Structure formats: C-alpha cells, structure tokens
C-alpha cells in the first residue's frame, strides 16, 4: 500500500469521530435529555412507563389494525396490563392516550423532536391543542 | 415411473392444490356461515318525507360536522359523503321526459350505498376498502395509496378524493374523529364509529323529517323490513348487479 | 457494458444534457405536486383519472410491442429480425419504466406504493397489473443482458435463455390484456365496458410500438452506421399495416355497437369525443385528427408502392403513432369519465404542472432508451462518430 502510514492514521481518526456518539454516551453523561411533561392528575397509563416508552408505536399499530380493520375497540378484562382503573382500555389514540396526554407539544413532540422522528399520524389524528386554536 | 418422477408429480400436484385453494378462497364470498346471526346494515330514505322540508341540509350538516369534512370553493376539489341531487341525476337510468314536476323537483340525498356486491372493494389493490361481515363497506385511511381505482369503479359517484390537505378547509375541527390527509379516498362509512357504540348514523339521527331509517335487514322483525314490505322502494342502478343497500321510497 | 453509455460524441452528450435539463425542470414541478397534492392537476371528483393514467395506458402498449419482433425471430426463426430484437426489448424496458413512473406520479400516497405487494389482493386487476409490469421489466432486462452479452462475446446465447424468451411472449400479451381488464371490468363506466377492449389494446399496441421502433431505426440509420437493410423494415411495415387495419376496424365495430343500439349510456361518450356534448368540445378536434391520420396512414401503408418508399413510410409510422397516442393518450380515459355516473358533463383539461411532470417522465424514458441503444450500437461497433 502506498502512503500506508497516512492512510491508516486517517482511518483511525475517522473511526473515532464516527463512533463518538456511542462511546461518549457510554462514558456517562449523554448530555441533553428531553424534558417531557407527564399528565398532572392521572398516574396510571395503560401499561408501565418503560413498556410504553419502547412499545407505544407497536401498540398503536396494533390498535389501528384491530379498530379499523377488525372492529375490535376494547380490550377484554383479562388483557393485563392494558387496563385503566381495572377497566378494559379503549383502543383509541384520541379517546385514551390524548385524554391524559393532552399536550402534544410538551409530551410527544419533546422526544420526537429530540430524536428527529416525524410520525405522520398527526396529519389525520386531531390533538386537543389544535381544537383549542 | 421411477421414484424421482413420482416425487416430482406429487409435489407439483400438492403445490397446485394449495395454490388453487388459495386462489379460490381469495375469490370466495365474504359470508361465513358459522351459524351466528350476522347483521346486514341498510338504510331507507323516504324521498317524499324528505322533500317536505324544503332546502333542508340537516343530514349533510350532521355528517360534515362530526366527520371533519372539508369545504372547498373550487368544485374540482370537492369532498362529500352525503349530498343532495335532483331526481334525474340520482336515478339516471329511469329516464322519463314526462316525469311529474313534483318528483322532478325533489332533492334526493345520495351517499355510499354499501352495496352487497361492491365493485369498489373488488378493485382496490391494497384492501384499503373492503366489505365487512355486517355489510358496511369500510375505509382504512392508513392503507390507501390514493390510486383512485375505487372511484373509477363506483357506479354511483359516492367516493371523494383528497386532492389537497383538508385541514385548513375544515370549519370546526371535531376532536373525536380524525381528519384525513391529502392523497387518500374517502366516503361514508355508515358511521361505523357510532354503530360500534350502539348508535345510529348521524344523518339518520339528525333528519328532522324522520325520512331516514337505519337497521338490520337480516332481522325479519326490524322496522326496515316492515317499511320495505309495505312501500314501493327503488335502488340506484340495480341492473349493474352491485345490490345497493340504500333503498329509496318515492 | 454499461460504461458504453457514458462515452460519446458531442452531439450525444448534447442530447443527454438536454434530456437531463428537462428532467430537472420537471422534477421541480413534481416537488410542487408532492407537497401540495394532486389538486395541481386538472383532475377532479368526476374525472379522477386523466393525463397521467392515459400515458400509462398508451405506454403499456408500446412496451408490449417488443413481442412483435421477438415472436417472429425466436418462435419462427425469421432471421431478418436478428439484429432488431434487442432494440425491441430495450424499447420495452424504457416504456415499462415510464409506465411505472406515470403510475407513481399519479398516486395520492406514492410512499405507500409497497402496500400493493405487502397486502396482495388477488381479485384486484391493479395488483396483477403491478405484478405483470414488474415481471415484464425483469424478463426484458434479463433477456437483453444475456443475449447482448453473448453477441458481444461472439458466442450463441446460453440454452436456458430460450424458454425464458418464449415465456416473455405470452407475458407481453398479458401485460396489455390485464391493463385492458382494468377498464373493461368496470360496470360503472359503460364506455370501457366492452369485451373488445383487450383486442383493441393489443391492436393499437402492435401498431404504435413497431411504428415507433421503425421511426427510431430510421433515425439511427441517419446518425449512426446502423443499417438493418430493407427486409426487416418492410416486414415491420407489414405488421404495422395489419395491426392498424385491425385497430381502425375495431374502432368502427365499437362505434357500430354504440350508435346502432342507441343505448344512451354508450352513445353519450362517443358524442363527447366526436361531436361534442353539452358545450364540452375540447376533445373533438383531436379525435378527428386521430381519425384522419389513421385513414391517411392506412392509405400509404396498404399501397405497396408507398409502403416501400421509406420517406413516406416514415411519415406513415409517425401518423400511426400520433393517431393512436391521441386515441389512447387523450381520448380514452377522459371519455370514460364524462358524463359522470350522475349524467353530468364536466370538463377536464390538464394543467401546466401536469404536462411538465409528464414531459419529465417521457424524458426519463428517452434517456434510458438512448443509453441502452448507445450500448448496443457501440458494442456492435456501429457508431459513426468519434467516441
């Protein structure tokens, strides 16, 4: 290889820079974390926070297919953890999720903007803020 | 015949059987005879009673409000789920140059007929529209790719397309129901979200002339069946074989 | 071999850059349509398919026409077509890609296009159309790559390509039949509800496609060393003649059924096209131009003296192509929608945005065909100008 020294040196610099987000986060302080505002009065979601954090999109897609395509709109009594106050939750973004998480810009958007995620659900699904406007 | 050829023939025959069953199933009728009483939702519109309330728009207003129907000044972009037309347009195959003035003047509410043999669901390439077991021709706005084949296939002009983003042109946003987005086809869904809660479609409820009836045709004791037995009813373009389930009393 | 498309004379590059400029401008118009929606076109609630779908319908025919050179050569060993089968296949590739692009620009939610394959719907003709178009593209790419590669290396093509080529023949017929089924299965549109839709589509395809191919062969003869001689040209001319005769005959058959039966539902659409309807006369001059061009082209094609005169033949091919383009690309789709299902007569005119986007798609097709033809002519060492 010609100029092997320069090339390998440059490659190492590149790999370090390219992987910097990974080892910077592992080192401890990841820096800015989105400041999301949880609903004030309601303490119980349909499922635990960690689970919702990871799976809310899967849940919503499942609801979409069940409600729209199969006309199934409520969980049955045995469907733990998807209960609210012990009652079967309605599978609805508007009637269930947005009833408590009514401030999209302070909840949903905070994480989505941080991660540059643009779900196009909002093109159709109306949020309470829009109605107030 | 040696072993190799035998295996070839059996596996080919097996594949053929499976493939043909799959094909036949795809074309099979949606009716599943599992013994349970399946509802068949239908609607009756009494055009005489409707015409008694001149210039009434209650059914259209109710639908437009709760379903976030946009209003556009440009007729090109029009979106409508239920609207009124003159008799000669609603029942175009009943051409009659000497039709009585009284009937000619009537405005007939038109909407999706939720046909029993819908040509629109037949052509949809993604099953974004399909016929439910209870007869409602349903829409999935998540899946629609906006190809507008269903619009071409509908003999009644019941379907609308979102040529642009409808949001800005909605008067009062109803939080409880989503809007649609540009690029998808939409139409009346017999208020499936209200039926799921045991209610009747908003237009039927809002009709002040009590000219609209909604019910289950499979129920021999339903009000719908009684009305149909006792009155002369017609449907739009019955000769096309789509079997529309909106019956008109004239 | 693809690198052969990237070397060429000044004239070649001037043409390529010209096409790229058109494509660039057209793309800007498409961005506008993508952002605002299809309201930027002339389409409406009543005329929901228009210029885009009409171009798609026309180009499916051009794509299918490759079979008119493949069938005689591979199935019947008609040696005279040996040099032009690859040209037919490359033309088919360009046409199919244009078809797919026209469908893409016509869709309301183009980013969801994979839904057609994620949720296959066997009772929908549009699903089968997507399958057959995609399959036809794959077939033609494979066949042309393998046969041209073999020709360049001076060896006969591998034996396994022969059944694939034979298979492409019914497949070509199928892409146009299934496109015709898109229309002829709709009870809602009496203008299209005709069993002769599919035969008409095939007849127009086998006239317009080879006519375009012949025109391209004449152009190539002028600007390159490519010269197939008289026999293939005359054979193609005969094929075009018969196909055009059938096309005009089928059209007259359709007119007879509509006008003699007098069924209002059917006659109104013909009236819209040929005499105007309730003030909507937009399409009348075009349709009569198409009719006149068809008759003139037939006169010059049927007469052997004028068919053998290659200058007049070129004119006849252009007339055939234009006549069929007007018939399918302007008239057929719009007339299916007017009058609408409620009997109302509306107007449809494509907008500038619509036409510019369409021009861009045609330019992309021209670019692909130019590149592919450059490859084959360079491989055959038949480029006239310095590389």
pLDDT band at C68 (very low <50, low <70, confident <90, very high): very high
Of B130, B174, B178, which is closest to A124 when you measure between CB atoms? B178
**A68/B140 Cβ within 8 A:** yes
CB A107: neighbour CB atoms within 10 A? 19
pLDDT tens-digit readout, C151-181: 888 899 999 999 999 999 999 999 999 999 9
Q: What is the dihedral of CA C222, C227, C232, C234, to 10 degrees?
A: 40
State the average pLDDT over residues C246-275. 95
State the average pLDDT over residues A43-66. 90
Angle at C49 between CA C46 and CA C53, to 5 degrees: 170
Of the residues B18, B20, B23, B76, the best mutation for testing chain C's interface (the one with the most C CB atoms within 10 Å of its CB) is B76
Angstroms from C133 CA to nearest CA on chain B? 15
Distances (CA, A) of C255 to B23, B60, B97, C181, C273: 37, 41, 26, 20, 11
Per-residue tokens: C108: 């309301």
Angstroms from B34 CA to nearest CA on chain C? 24
B-chain residues within 8 Å CB-CB of C43? 76, 163
pLDDT band at C63 (very low <50, low <70, confident <90, very high): very high
Cβ-proximal residues to C262 (8 Å cutoff; 6+ apart), any chain: none
pLDDT tens-digit readout, C23-46: 999 999 999 999 999 999 999 999
pLDDT band at C387 (very low <50, low <70, confident <90, very high): very low
Lowest mean pLDDT among B11-15, B58-62, C58-62, C299-303: B11-15
pLDDT band at C97 (very low <50, low <70, confident <90, very high): very high
- The whole-number pLDDT of residue B30 equals 41
Of B138, B142, B175, which is closest to A64 when you measure between CB atoms? B142
C-chain residues within 8 Å CB-CB of B154? 188, 341
- Kindly list the partner chains of chain A, i.e. chains with 3 or more CB atom pairs below 8 Å: B
CB C53: neighbour CB atoms within 10 A? 24
| Pair C93, C372: CB distance under 8 Å | yes
| Closest of C67, C60, C63, C65 to residue C167, by C-alpha | C67
Q: Integer distance in angstroms from the first to the last C-alpha of chain A?
A: 66
| Closest of C101, C118, C121, C111 to residue C52, by C-alpha | C101
Give chain B's length. 250
| DSSP code per residue over C275-333 | T-BTTB-TTHHHHHHHHHHHHHHHHHHHSHHHHH-HHHHHHHHHHHHHHHHHIIIIIIH
Which class is domain B43-249? alpha beta
For the purposes of burial, counting CB atoms within 10 Å of the CB of A13, is it exposed (0-12), middle (13-18) or buried (19 or more)? Answer: exposed
Where do the domains of chain C lie, and which CATH numbers do they carry?
A: 2-379 (1.20.1630.10)
| Closest of B79, B66, B150, B83 to residue B115, by C-alpha | B150
State whether residue B130 is helix, strand or coil.
strand
Of B123, B125, B144, which is closest to C109 when you measure between CB atoms? B144
State the average pLDDT over residues C230-237. 95
Q: How many CB pairs under 8 A join B and C?
A: 148
B-chain residues within 8 Å CB-CB of A128? 175
C-chain residues within 8 Å CB-CB of B127? 119, 121
Angstroms from B20 CA to nearest CA on chain A? 26
Q: Percentage of residues in chain C with pLDDT exceeding 90? A: 89
CA closest to A102 among chain B residues: B175
Residue C385 has pLDDT above 70, yes or no: no
Angle at B73 between CA B72 and CA B79, to 5 degrees: 30
B-chain residues within 8 Å CB-CB of C39? 74, 76-77, 163-164
Q: What value of ipTM does the predicted structure carry?
A: 0.93
State whether residue B63 is helix, strand or coil.
helix
Q: Output phi, psi for C20, to 5 deg.
A: -65, -35
Give chain A's length. 133
| Closest of C6, C55, C53, C24 to residue C362, by C-alpha | C55
B-chain residues within 8 Å CB-CB of A94? 175-178
Of the residues B27, B81, B126, B155, the best mutation for testing chain C's interface (the one with the most C CB atoms within 10 Å of its CB) is B126
CA closest to B131 among chain A residues: A69
Q: What is the pTM of this model?
A: 0.90
State the average pLDDT over residues C138-144. 95
- The whole-number pLDDT of residue B17 equals 84
Give residue limits of the domains in chain B.
43-249
**Rounded CA gap, B238 and B235, in Å?**
6
Q: How far is CA C58 from the centre of its chain?
A: 4
A-chain residues within 8 Å CB-CB of B176? 94-95
Q: Strand (E) positions, chain B?
A: 41-46, 82-86, 107-111, 129-131, 137-139, 160-161, 185-186, 212-216, 233-234, 246-249
Which DSSP symbol is given to A90? B
Q: Integer distance in angstroms from the first to the last C-alpha of chain C?
A: 15
pLDDT band at C2 (very low <50, low <70, confident <90, very high): confident
SS (H, E, C) C154-206: CCCCCCCHHHHHHHHHHHHHHHHHHHHHHHHCCCCCCCCCCCCHHHHHHHHHH
Cβ-proximal residues to C273 (8 Å cutoff; 6+ apart), any chain: C283, C284, C287, C331, C335
- Kindly list the partner chains of chain B, i.e. chains with 3 or more CB atom pairs below 8 Å: A, C
Give chain C's length. 387
| DSSP code per residue over C319-357 | HHHHHHHHIIIIIIHHHHHSS-TTS--------HHHHHH
Site of tokens 């309730």: C278
State whether residue B246 is helix, strand or coil.
strand
**C264/B23 Cβ within 8 A:** no
**Chain C residues with CB-CB distance to B under 8 A?**
36-39, 42-46, 48-49, 103, 106-110, 112-113, 115-116, 118-119, 121-127, 130, 182, 185-189, 264, 336-337, 340-344
State the average pLDDT over residues C114-137. 96
Angstroms from B68 CA to nearest CA on chain C? 18
Angstroms from B216 CA to nearest CA on chain C? 27
Characterize A79-92 residue by residue with b for buried, 16 or more Cβ atoms within 10 angstroms of its Cβ, and e for exposed. Answer: eeebbbeeebbbbb
Of A68, A128, A131, which is closest to B142 when you measure between CB atoms? A68
SS (H, E, C) B87-128: HHHHCCCCCCCCCCHHHHHCEEEEECCCCCCCHHHHHCCCCC
Q: How far is CA C335 from the centre of its chain?
A: 19
Whether the link from the prior residue into C339 is cis, omega within 30° of 0, is yes
**B183/C39 Cβ within 8 A:** no
**Rounded CA gap, B135 and B142, in Å?**
21
Instruction: Decide which of C218 and A81 is more confident.
Output: C218
- The whole-number pLDDT of residue A81 equals 61
Of B132, B174, B180, which is closest to A124 when you measure between CB atoms? B180
Q: Helices C197-223 & C85-106, crossing angle to 10 degrees?
A: 120
Which residues of chain B, if any, have pLDDT below 50?
Answer: 28-34
pLDDT tens-digit readout, C270-294: 999 999 999 899 999 999 999 999 9
B99-105 long-range contacts, Cβ below 8 Å, gap at least 24?
B103/B250, B105/B51
- The whole-number pLDDT of residue B26 equals 52
CA closest to C43 among chain B residues: B76
Q: Output phi, psi for B110, to 5 deg.
A: -115, 145
| Pair A73, A92: CB distance under 8 Å | yes
Cβ-proximal residues to C25 (8 Å cutoff; 6+ apart), any chain: C356, C360
Characterize B204-226 residue by residue with b for buried, 16 or more Cβ atoms within 10 angstroms of its Cβ, and e for exposed. Answer: bebbeeebbbbbbbbeeebebbe
State the average pLDDT over residues A109-132. 89
Whether the link from the prior residue into C175 is cis, omega within 30° of 0, is no
Give residue limits of the domains in chain A.
1-31, 32-132
**C121/B27 Cβ within 8 A:** no
Which DSSP symbol is given to B138? E
**B161/C107 Cβ within 8 A:** no
Of the residues A71, A92, A118, A122, the best mutation for testing chain B's interface (the one with the most B CB atoms within 10 Å of its CB) is A71
Of the residues C36, C114, C115, the best mutation for testing chain B's interface (the one with the most B CB atoms within 10 Å of its CB) is C115
B-chain residues within 8 Å CB-CB of C45? 75-79, 157, 160-161
């Amino acid at each position: 290889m010609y100029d092997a020294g320069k090339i390998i040196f440059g490659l190492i610099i590149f790999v370090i820079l390219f992987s910097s987000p990974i080892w910077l986060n592992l080192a401890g302080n990841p820096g800015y974390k989105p400041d999301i505002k949880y609903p004030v009065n309601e303490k119980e979601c349909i499922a635990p926070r960690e689970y919702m954090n990871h799976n809310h999109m899967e849940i919503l897609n499942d609801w979409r297919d069940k409600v729209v395509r199969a006309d199934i709109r409520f969980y049955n009594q045995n469907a733990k953890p998807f209960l609210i106050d012990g009652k079967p939750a309605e599978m609805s973004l508007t009637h269930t999720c947005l009833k408590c998480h009514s401030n999209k810009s302070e909840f949903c958007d905070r994480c989505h903007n941080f991660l540059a995620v643009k779900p196009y659900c909002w093109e159709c699904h109306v949020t309470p803020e829009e109605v107030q406007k | 015949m040696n072993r190799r050829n035998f295996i070839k023939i059996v596996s080919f025959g097996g594949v053929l059987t499976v493939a043909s069953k799959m094909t036949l199933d795809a074309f099979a009728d949606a009716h599943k005879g599992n013994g349970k009483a399946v509802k068949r939702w239908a609607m009756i519109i009494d055009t005489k009673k409707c015409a008694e309330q001149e210039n009434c728009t209650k059914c259209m207003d109710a639908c437009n409000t709760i379903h976030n129907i946009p209003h556009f000044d440009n007729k090109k972009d029009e979106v409508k789920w239920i609207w009124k037309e003159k008799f000669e347009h609603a029942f175009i195959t009943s051409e009659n140059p000497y039709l009585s003035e009284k009937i000619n003047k009537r405005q007939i509410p038109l909407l999706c007929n939720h046909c029993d043999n819908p040509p629109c669901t037949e052509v949809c390439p993604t099953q974004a529209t399909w016929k439910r077991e209870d007869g409602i021709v349903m829409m999935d706005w998540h899946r629609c790719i906006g190809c507008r084949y269903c619009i071409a296939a509908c003999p009644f002009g019941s379907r609308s397309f979102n040529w642009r983003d409808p949001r800005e042109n909605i008067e009062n946003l109803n939080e409880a129901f989503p809007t649609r987005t540009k690029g998808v086809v939409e139409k009346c869904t017999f208020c499936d979200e209200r039926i799921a809660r045991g209610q009747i479609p908003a237009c039927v409820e809002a009709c002040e002339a009590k000219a609209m009836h909604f019910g289950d045709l499979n129920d021999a004791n339903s009000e719908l069946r009684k009305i149909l037995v006792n009155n002369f009813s017609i449907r739009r373009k019955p000769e096309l074989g789509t079997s529309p389930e909106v019956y008109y009393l004239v | 071999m693809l690198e052969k498309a990237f070397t060429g004379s000044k004239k070649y590059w001037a043409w390529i850059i010209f096409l790229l400029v058109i494509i660039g401008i057209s793309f800007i118009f498409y961005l506008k349509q993508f952002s605002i929606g299809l309201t930027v076109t002339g389409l409406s609630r009543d005329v929901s398919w228009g210029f885009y779908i009409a171009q798609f319908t026309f180009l499916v025919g051009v794509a299918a026409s490759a079979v008119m050179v493949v069938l005689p050569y591979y199935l019947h060993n008609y040696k005279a077509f040996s040099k032009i089968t690859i040209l037919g296949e490359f033309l088919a590739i360009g046409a199919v890609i244009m078809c797919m692009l026209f469908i893409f620009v016509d869709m309301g939610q183009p980013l969801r296009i994979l839904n057609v394959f994620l949720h296959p719907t066997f009772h929908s003709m549009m699903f089968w159309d997507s399958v057959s178009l995609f399959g036809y593209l794959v077939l033609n790419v494979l066949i042309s790559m393998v046969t041209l590669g073999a020709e360049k290396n001076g060896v006969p093509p591998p034996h396994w390509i022969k059944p694939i080529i034979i298979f492409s023949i019914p497949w070509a017929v199928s892409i146009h039949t299934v496109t015709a089924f898109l229309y002829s299965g709709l009870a809602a549109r009496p203008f299209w509800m005709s069993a002769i839709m599919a035969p008409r589509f095939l007849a127009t395809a086998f006239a317009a496609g080879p006519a375009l191919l012949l025109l391209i062969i004449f152009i190539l003869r002028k600007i390159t060393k490519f010269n197939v001689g008289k026999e293939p040209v005359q054979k193609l001319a005969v094929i075009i003649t018969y196909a055009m005769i059938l096309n005009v005959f089928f059209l007259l058959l359709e007119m007879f059924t509509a006008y003699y039966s007098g069924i209002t539902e059917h006659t109104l659409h013909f009236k819209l096209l040929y005499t105007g309807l309730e003030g909507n006369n937009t399409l009348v001059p075009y349709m009569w131009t198409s009719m006149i061009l068809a008759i003139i082209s037939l006169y010059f094609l049927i007469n052997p003296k004028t068919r053998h005169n290659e200058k007049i033949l070129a004119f006849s091919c252009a007339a055939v192509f234009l006549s069929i383009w007007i018939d399918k690309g302007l008239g057929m789709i719009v007339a299916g929608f007017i009058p609408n299902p409620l009997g109302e007569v509306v107007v449809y005119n494509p907008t500038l945005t619509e036409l510019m986007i369409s021009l861009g798609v045609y330019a992309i097709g021209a670019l692909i065909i130019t590149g592919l033809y450059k490859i084959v002519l360079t491989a055959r060492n038949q480029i006239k100008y310095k590389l």
